[in-house]
């Protein structure tokens, strides 16, 4: 039985990094909503990366680093409880080393992301078993940072809880989360269900996943926002497709103003791996390329 492997940014559901075509910005209200979209993207990306660690670690026998793990040789795993047979699960910490003052500021992991600091994991029972629960958490004193370029790392605090619903489904809860970088701090939480639709055999290539659920947060300007997946997001793990979704629709809303951004990842209704999406803001449509 192949385990559900999700070591990529499945939870990305925001309008950050828009490259607008042939349009100019509207009002400050639109800018306000874009700020929420950018901050949501930061939280989505970084807590997904933290989720990747939990999923990867739980899917492999990390004590011997067997399997295609994303953990680099420099990450130190320390078990406080390494046996499932005692009935109370497994507990450990993963130490990626201190944040460096020189570039790269973190350690390069095998998924291409940089990490530093400490995370704590607990696994209730074997990951492939129904109702298995995995919790990964990091506090302010753990100084956990993550990022994609080794230069601009984001500090994360909070808890991610994974619950296996079936062989093909996981429930993902992000709780009391904060992401802090040079732009400010976003508070964030989410509840999602991830379903594997197509298993193409060993490895991830050719697999397809569907994402459903919602998120909410407080952006760097202390404005509340919500994110809802209106049409399930579809991801194909193929060349040219893995960076984004090929189908699905979301709505991001700033609570105080009611201003929204609607995102359509399949504006041409062809599920193409073209990285093209459409944003609707103030009833105006903008086509853009997902970065």
Angle at 249 between CA 248 and CA 254, to 5 degrees: 150
pLDDT tens digits, 273-291: 887 888 888 888 878 766 5
Question: What percent of the chain stands above pLDDT 70?
Answer: 80
Contact yes or no for 90/77 (Cβ under 8 A): no
For residue 65, being part of any structural domain is answered with no
For residue 152, being part of any structural domain is answered with yes
pLDDT of residue 276: 80
pLDDT tens digits, 81-137: 988 888 789 999 999 999 999 999 999 987 778 999 999 999 999 888 889 999 999
3-state secondary structure string, 102-130? CCCCCEECCCCCEEECEEEEEECCCCCCC
For residue 114, being part of any structural domain is answered with yes
Contact yes or no for 81/90 (Cβ under 8 A): yes
For residue 272, being part of any structural domain is answered with yes
For residue 16, being part of any structural domain is answered with no
For residue 181, being part of any structural domain is answered with yes
- Number of domains, the chain: 1
Please state, in angstroms and rounded to a whole number, the distance separating the CA atoms of residues 182 and 257: 26
Angle at 55 between CA 52 and CA 56, to 5 degrees: 80
* Residue matched to tokens 């040789």: 73
For residue 5, being part of any structural domain is answered with no
How many Å separate Cα 212 from the centre of its chain?
Answer: 13
For residue 23, being part of any structural domain is answered with no
Range of the domain at 247: 28-58+72-289
């Amino acid at each position: 039985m192949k385990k559900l492997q999700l070591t990529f940014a499945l939870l990305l559901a925001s309008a950050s990094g828009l490259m607008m075509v042939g349009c100019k910005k509207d009002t400050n209200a639109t800018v306000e909503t874009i700020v929420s979209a950018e901050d949501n993207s930061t939280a989505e990306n970084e807590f997904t990366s933290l989720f990747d660690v939990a999923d990867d670690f739980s899917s492999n026998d990390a004590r011997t680093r067997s399997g295609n793990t994303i953990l680099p040789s420099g990450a130190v795993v320390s078990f406080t409880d390494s046996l499932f047979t005692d009935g109370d699960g497994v507990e450990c910490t993963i130490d990626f080393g201190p944040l460096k003052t020189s570039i790269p500021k973190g350690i390069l992991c095998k998924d291409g992301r940089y990490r530093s600091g400490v995370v704590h994991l607990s696994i209730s029972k074997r990951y492939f078993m129904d109702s298995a629960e995995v919790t990964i958490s990091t506090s302010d004193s753990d100084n956990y940072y993550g990022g994609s370029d080794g230069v601009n790392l984001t500090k994360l605090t909070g808890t991610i809880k994974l619950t296996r619903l079936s062989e093909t489904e996981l429930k993902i809860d992000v709780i009391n989360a904060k992401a802090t970088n040079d732009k400010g701090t976003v508070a964030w939480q989410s509840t999602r269900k991830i379903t594997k639709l197509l298993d193409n055999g060993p490895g991830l290539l050719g697999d397809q996943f569907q994402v459903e659920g919602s998120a909410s947060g407080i952006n760097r300007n202390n404005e509340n926002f919500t994110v809802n997946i209106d049409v399930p997001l579809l991801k194909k793990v193929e060349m040219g497709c893995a960076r984004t979704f090929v189908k699905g629709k979301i709505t991001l809303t700033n609570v105080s103003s009611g201003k929204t951004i609607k995102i359509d990842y399949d504006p041409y209704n062809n599920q193409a791996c073209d990285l093209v999406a459409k944003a609707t803001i103030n009833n105006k449509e903008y086509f853009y390329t997902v970065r």
